[in-house]
């Protein structure tokens, strides 16, 4: 009798458990995804719990050091959207005379962007996880955002269809008039409609890209064309200077890579990149590392073709001599 009752209680508990899992299933999955992505892309700098000097790269980084994500009094001043925008932004050239940077713009080059690496949905999952590090919860309605993007795509499609119809009618009318008068078609009669259609097409493409990037990683399936890296010696010299500047002040490559004694250690040292790697390979890697190694921790930082060319040229000059065999590291015999 007693055993049977216990079994019933067990079954009810089990049912409640299943019910709770289904009800909270979606949120839990987002949470788990956020945690995994954080562990893969953020933890080396920010630490497992977001604390100072917890990540293995923390102490090797140039100043400012990665922010303490567990500090509620500071992190609590940011809205979910602010955190999203930090993680998903365009890098800015912080050199004197570089990009314009407003008072409210976050522009620390050694905090990488993930805009070109992860989907919007994934970045929201990360923001949700970052919130838990300082005991808060994501307020932003991610599902609503997706609905909004779907609706703007629908609206853009309707607008484009309408503009196309208007254009086709104007074109037909102009060509009928030309037939009647037996003259060439006057294209200026429908130029305005044609321009409106082109503008609507642009909006449609942007809306489509917005929705795609919500759920798919932006670099997926993107092939980087072979660059032309030939240049005259004086252009090379300029490109090396520019590349070095961008390496530090715009893309913060030094946050993850060392040259000599300086720099982070998330990626390999680049002292000998000029010997070891060829220009075309480096260029392609910088533009879209995920296309060569999907799970690499190095994010695609959104380098323009020109920036990638300059940084590639700079890396080509890194030709430090091979480190001497260090006898001290050999076991004493």
Q: Are 255 and 109 in contact (CB under 8 A)?
A: yes
Pick between residue 118 and residue 170 the one whose CB is nearest to ligand HEC: 118
Please say which residue, 108 or 224, places its beta carbon nearer to ligand HEC.
108
**Closest alpha carbon to 126 in 36, 216, 213, 47:** 36
Residues 6+ apart with CB under 8 A from 108: 64, 252
How many residues are listed for the chain in this entry? 333
**Choice between 156 and 256, CB closer to ligand HEC:** 256
3-state DSSP call for residue 177? helix
CB of 146 to ligand HEC, least distance (A): 20
Q: Which is nearer to ligand HEC, 110 or 170 (CB)?
A: 110
Whole-number minimum distance, CB 77 to ligand HEC, in Å?
A: 9
Q: Minimal distance in Å, beta carbon 30 to ligand HEC?
A: 15
* 142, two tokens: 């991610």
Least separation in angstroms between residue 261's CB and ligand HEC is 18
Q: How far is the CB of 212 from ligand HEC (least distance, A)?
A: 21
Alpha-carbon gap, residue 108 to 94, rounded angstroms = 8
Residues 6+ apart with CB under 8 A from 98: 92, 249, 250
Q: Which residues of this protein are in contact with ligand HEC, per CB under 6 A?
A: 41-42, 44-46, 57, 64, 66-67, 69, 83, 86-87, 106, 108, 110-112, 114, 126, 130, 247, 251-253, 255-257, 264, 266-268, 270, 273, 276-277, 282, 285-286, 293, 296-299, 301, 311, 315
Q: 55 vs 170, which CB is nearer to ligand HEC?
A: 55
Q: SS3 helix, strand, coil % of the chain, rounded to 5? A: 60, 0, 40
């Amino acid at each position: 009798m007693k055993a049977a009752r216990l079994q019933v209680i067990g079954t009810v508990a089990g049912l409640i458990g299943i019910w709770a899992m289904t009800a909270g299933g979606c949120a839990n999955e987002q949470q788990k995804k956020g945690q995994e992505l954080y562990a893969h892309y953020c933890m080396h700098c920010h630490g497992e719990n977001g604390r100072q000097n917890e990540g293995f790269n923390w102490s090797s980084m140039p100043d400012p050091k990665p922010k303490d994500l567990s500090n509620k009094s500071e992190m609590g001043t940011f809205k979910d959207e602010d955190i999203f925008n930090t993680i998903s932004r365009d890098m800015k050239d912080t050199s004197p005379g570089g990009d314009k940077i407003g008072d409210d713009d976050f522009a620390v080059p050694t905090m990488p962007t993930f805009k070109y690496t992860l989907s919007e949905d994934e970045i929201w999952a990360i923001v949700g996880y970052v919130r838990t590090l300082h005991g808060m919860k994501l307020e932003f309605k991610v599902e609503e955002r997706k609905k909004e993007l779907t609706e703007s795509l629908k609206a853009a499609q309707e607008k484009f269809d309408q503009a196309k119809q208007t254009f086709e009618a104007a074109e037909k009318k102009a060509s009928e008039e030309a037939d009647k008068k037996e003259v060439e078609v006057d294209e200026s009669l429908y130029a305005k409609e044609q321009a409106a259609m082109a503008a609507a097409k642009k909006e449609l493409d942007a809306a489509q890209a917005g929705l795609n990037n919500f759920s798919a990683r932006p670099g997926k399936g993107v092939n980087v064309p072979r660059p032309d890296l030939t240049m005259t010696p004086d252009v090379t010299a300029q490109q090396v200077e520019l590349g070095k500047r961008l390496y530090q002040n715009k893309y913060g490559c030094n946050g993850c890579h060392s040259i000599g004694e300086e720099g982070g250690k998330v990626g390999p040292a680049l002292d000998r990149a000029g010997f070891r790697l060829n220009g075309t390979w480096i260029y392609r890697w910088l533009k879209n590392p995920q296309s060569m190694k999907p799970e690499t921790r190095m994010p695609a930082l959104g380098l323009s073709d020109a920036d990638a060319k300059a940084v590639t040229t700079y890396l080509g000059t890194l030709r430090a001599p091979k480190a001497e065999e260090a006898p001290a590291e050999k076991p004493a015999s």
